[in-house]
Chains A and B, each alone.
Chain A
Amino acid sequence: MNEKRKNSTRSGSNFKWVGEVTPRPDGVDKVTGRARYGDDLKLPGMLHARVLRSPHAHAKIVSIDTSKASALEGVKGVVTYRDIPDHPLATPPYPPIIQDFHDLSRNVMARDKVLYDGHAVAAVAATSEAVAREAIKLIQVKYETLPHVLDPFEATLSDAPILHEYQFTEGADPDTSKPSNTFRTLSGERGNLVQGFSEADVIIEREFSSQPVHQGFIEPMACVASASEDGSVELWTSTQGHFVARGLLSKLLNLEISKLRVTASEIGGGFGAKTTIYGEPVAIRLSQKTGRPVRMTFTRSEVFRATGPAAGSRCRIKVGIKSDGTITAGDAEIWYQAGAFKGAPVGRALDTFFSPYNIKHIRAAAHDVCVNRPKVAAYRAPGAPMATWAMEAVLNEAADVIGIDPIDLRLRNAVKEGDTSLKGTKHGRIGLIEVLEATKNHAHYTAPLGRNEGRGFAVGYWLHGGGLSSASVILQDDGTVNVATGSPDIGGSRSSMRAMAAEELGIDVKLIKPIIADTGSLPYSYQTAGSRTTYATGMAVVNAARDVIDRLRALAATKWDIGVKDVRWDDGHAIPADKYEGEISPLSLKELAEVAMKMGGAIAGHSEINASGQGAAFCAQLVDVCVDPETGRVTPIRHTVIEDVGRAISPDYVEGQMQGGAVQGIGWALNEEYIYNENAQLQNTGFLDYRMPVASDVPMIDTVIVEVPNPNHPYGVRGVGEPPLVSAPAAVANAVENAIGTTMSHLPLTPPKILRAIGETIPEAAE
Chain B
Amino acid sequence: MSKHFVSAIVNGDEVEFRCDSGETLLDVLRTKLYLTGTKNGCGTGDCGACTVLMNGRAINSCLVLGAECSDMSIETIEGMAVGGELHPLQQKFLDHAALQCGVCTPGILNMAKALLKENSNPSETEVRFGLAGNLCRCTGYDKIVRAVMDAAAEMRARRT
* A residues neighboring B (CB under 8 Å): 1, 21, 23-24, 26-28, 30-37, 39-40, 42, 129-130, 215-220, 266-269, 271, 297, 299-300, 490-492, 652-653, 655-657, 659-664, 686-688, 692-696, 698, 700-701
CA distance A130 to B137 in the complex (A): 29
Going nearest first, the 5 A-B pairs with the smallest beta carbon separation are A33-B37, A268-B103, A30-B102, A663-B140, A33-B77
- Give A27 to B135 CA distance when docked, in angstroms: 19
Q: Which of A28, A656, A664 contacts B94 (CB 8 A)?
A: A28
Smallest distance from the beta carbon of B58 to chain A beta carbons, Å?
Answer: 14
B127 to chain A, nearest CB (A): 7
Query: How many pairs of residues, A versus B, come closer than 8 Å at their CB atoms?
Result: 189
Q: State A24–B101 Cα separation when bound (angstroms).
A: 12
Asked if A696 meets B103 with Cβ closer than 8 Å, knowing A34-B37, A219-B39, the reply is: no
Please give 4 more A-B residue pairs, beta carbons under 8 A apart, in addition to A31-B105, A656-B143: A300-B41, A694-B134, A696-B125, A700-B124
Interface centre among A33, A36, A39, A130 (most CB of B within 10 A): A33
User: Which residue of chain A has the shortest Cβ distance to B129 in the bound complex?
Assistant: A696
A39/B36 in contact, CB under 8 A: yes
Known: A33-B78, A692-B137. A267 touches B42 (CB 8 A): no
| A687-B46 contact in complex given A219-B103, A269-B103, A491-B101, C-beta closer than 8 Å | yes
CB-contacts of B114-138 with A (<8 A): 124-125, 127-129, 131-138
| Nearest chain A CB to B24 CB, angstrom units | 11
* CB nearest to B150 among chain A residues: A1
Complex CA distance for A30 and B125, rounded to whole angstroms: 26
Whether the pair B145, A1 counts as a contact (CB closer than 8 A) is no
Report A648 CB to chain B, min CB distance, Å.
12
Given contacts A491-B138, A695-B134, contact A219 B101 (CB under 8 A): yes
A695 touching B127 in the complex, CB below 8 Å, given contacts A31-B99, A217-B101: yes
- Taking a contact as CB atoms under 8 Å apart, the answer to whether A31 and B140 are in contact is no
What is the CB-to-nearest-CB distance from B69 to chain A, in angstroms, rounded to a whole number?
Answer: 19
B15 at the interface (CB under 8 A from A): no
Q: Which residues of chain B are within 8 angstroms of A31 by Cβ–Cβ distance?
A: 77, 80, 86, 90, 93-94, 99, 102, 105-106, 109
Q: Is the CB of B41 within 8 A of A656?
A: no
A664 to B137, CA, bound (A): 7
Q: Are A220 and B41 interface neighbours, CB within 8 A?
A: yes
Distance, CA A700 to CA B144, complexed state (A): 10
**Chain B interfacial residues counted at CB < 8 A:** 60
Chain A binding site: helix, strand, loop or mixed by DSSP?
loop
Binding site for A on B (CB under 8 A): 20, 22, 27, 30-31, 34-44, 46-47, 49, 76-78, 80-81, 86, 90, 93-94, 96-97, 99-106, 109, 124-125, 127-129, 131-146
Whether A692 lies near B132 (C-beta < 8 A) is: no
Q: Shortest distance in angstroms between A519's beta carbon and chain B's nearest beta carbon?
A: 21
Give the shortest distance, in Å, between A537 (CB) and chain B (any CB).
17
With both beta carbons as reference points, the residue of chain A lying nearest to B146 in the complex is identified as: A1
In the complex, the answer to whether B81 meets A32 with C-beta atoms within 8 Å is yes
Q: How far is the CB of B25 from chain A (nearest CB, A)?
A: 15
State the Cβ distance, B91 to closest chain A Cβ, in Å: 8
Do A33 and B138 contact each other (CB < 8 Å), given the known contacts A24-B97, A218-B47, A300-B42?
A: no
Q: Among A30, A271, A695, point to the contact of B144 (Cβ < 8 A).
A: A695
Highest count of chain A CB atoms <10 Å: which of B20, B39, B137: B137
A40 and B78 form a contact (CB under 8 A):
no
Inside 8 A of B22's CB, which chain A residues have their CB? 130
In contact, B36 and A218 (Cβ under 8 angstroms)? no
A35–B41 Cα distance when bound, in Å, is: 16
> Residue among A299, A663, A695 with the most chain B CB within 10 A?
A695
Provided the pairs A660-B140, A695-B132 are in contact, do residues A33 and B106 lie with their beta carbons within 8 angstroms?
Answer: yes
